[in-house]
Amino acid sequence: MTRELFWLTLTVILTGLLWIPYVVNRAQVRGLSGAMANPSRNDKPHAEWATRMMFAHDNAVENLIIFAPLVLILTEIDYSTTWTVAACAVYFWSRVAHLIVYTLGLPVFRTLAFTVGFFAQAVLALAIFKIV
């Protein structure tokens, strides 16, 4: 496994687990049957942190769609540098930071964490064309 694939794997695992805390909150607020029911406009709302975590999860999924192919393309073309490894690590940790600050409701830090992740993706895209 390449180091880039290692960071991709951690990112996939993180993204795959993000639903658990807010679904637990949903069960606490609506009861177990309410948590398993189809969504309704009349549902009791989640805790504010859980709603923000849902949005952070959505954002993580949306960005995984960009990050994963970049890493897979680099793996396919057998291109790995210290820049690509660092970009993958930075991307993972920026997603962790994004999750935390989004859940806590810290908007400026949320945007900074997102932007760091975006630049990490940009490094990977440039690496595909062997610019970095």
pLDDT (tens place) for every residue of the chain, 132 residues total: 999 999 999 999 999 999 999 999 999 999 999 999 998 999 999 999 999 999 999 999 999 999 999 999 999 999 999 999 999 999 999 999 999 999 999 999 999 999 999 999 999 999 999 998
Query: CA-CA distance, 85 to 89, in Å (whole number)?
Result: 6
CATH value at residue 10: 1.20.120.550
- d(Cα 26, Cα 46) in Å, to the nearest integer? 6
Cα 44 from chain centre: 26
Residue 104 domain flag: yes
Show the domain range for 85: 3-16+47-128
Whether 63 is covered by a domain: the verdict is yes
Q: pTM here?
A: 0.95
* Helical (H) or strand (E) element with 37: none
The answer to the question of residue 38 being in a domain is no
How many structural domains compose the chain?
1
